[in-house]
Amino acid sequence: MDFFNSLIAETYSLIDGLDKKSFDFEMSDAWQDVGYNEVILQRDTAFELEGVGFNLITTAPVNDEIVVIGEDLSHIYGNRKFTRVCVIELEETEDQQKTYNLIRKVEYTKYHVFPKGYMIRTTSRSHKEAVRVSGKAVKDGISFKKIGNLLIKKYKENPAVKGVKVIFVTDAGADFKHFEEIARKNNDITETLNHIMNSVNFDCDTCKLKPICDEVEGMKELHFKTSGKKED
């Protein structure tokens, strides 16, 4: 189920020419997870990040890595645009339903990460992501490397997750509109996948998801396969 590979290629080409720092995954250097949704009040806030955050799933090899493009958390002095992308390698399986269930499970992980002093607000139906960072966390040395280590650690608690690359972008010169476009396409493909895996009845001529099926290779075939219907 490699429906997201073209979006991964698009993401990589988007960050290709930008200055970046790269860090290996170090489990022991993960930022603290408080285990609950911590509320950071305005008066305790150093700055806010606002943009999109999304996961791109693949069965192609992905090295555990954190990539930072632009200023790190210790060098941000006002509210900023940002993007967070996690490219996640899942183990390959022949069973489409099992793979689909895994994708959903991995997607839910992001709602169960609660970094100390880093309040994430996101919703399941959109890829919008806003982060409020506390002044105390900045003082205590919070960094994208440490947040990335925590995210990778959490994703890898699922043994089916083989590799995770976390990309943070705060560079004002980055094409944030394009990242939003990739996030939107990712959402469209995910919704189409949900429809395909949960619905046996279909009519391609009237289906509102047809543009996605026409664009993403293998999607239509998957719906025919899961429904047991033969293509005309």
Q: Between 131 and 213, name the residue whose CB sits nearer to ligand SF4.
A: 213
Q: How far is CA 138 from the centre of its chain?
A: 24
The CA–CA distances, whole Å, from 93 to 96, 192, 228 equal 7, 20, 20
* Angle between helical axes of 219-227 and 176-198 (0-180°, round to 10): 20
Residue from 23, 109, 27, 99 nearest 63 by CA: 23
Q: Between 2 and 188, name the residue whose CB sits nearer to ligand SF4.
A: 188
Element spanning 136, H or E = helix 135-139
Cβ neighbours for 140, distance < 8 A, ≥ 6 positions apart: 117
Q: How far apart are CA 139 and CA 181, in angstroms?
A: 34
* Angle between helical axes of 96-109 and 176-198 (0-180°, round to 10): 140
The CA-to-CA distance between both ends of the chain, in Å, stands at 23
Q: Between 131 and 219, name the residue whose CB sits nearer to ligand SF4.
A: 219
Q: How far apart are CA 53 and CA 169, in angstroms?
A: 10
Is residue 220 at the binding interface for ligand SF4, with CB under 6 A as the rule? yes
Q: Between 19 and 214, name the residue whose CB sits nearer to ligand SF4.
A: 214
Residue 112 beta carbon to ligand SF4: minimum distance, rounded to whole angstroms: 30
Residue 6 beta carbon to ligand SF4: minimum distance, rounded to whole angstroms: 17
Q: Between 160 and 196, name the residue whose CB sits nearer to ligand SF4.
A: 196
Q: Between 119 and 213, name the residue whose CB sits nearer to ligand SF4.
A: 213
Site string for ligand SF4, 36-65 (x = CB under 6 A): ------------------------------
Residue 107 beta carbon to ligand SF4: minimum distance, rounded to whole angstroms: 19
21-24, strands of its sheet edge to edge = 21-24, 65-69, 161-169, 80-90, 45-58, 128-134, 118-122
Residue 103 beta carbon to ligand SF4: minimum distance, rounded to whole angstroms: 16
The site for ligand SF4, by CB under 6 A, has a size of 12
Q: Between 28 and 198, name the residue whose CB sits nearer to ligand SF4.
A: 198
The CA–CA distances, whole Å, from 16 to 10, 69, 115, 167 equal 10, 10, 29, 12
**Site residues (CB under 6 A) for ligand SF4, limited to 158-217:** 192, 195-196, 202, 204, 207, 209-210, 213
**Site residues (CB under 6 A) for ligand SF4, limited to 21-40:** none
Residue 219 beta carbon to ligand SF4: minimum distance, rounded to whole angstroms: 6
The contact set with ligand SF4 (CB under 6 A) reads: 192, 195-196, 202, 204, 207, 209-210, 213, 219-220, 223
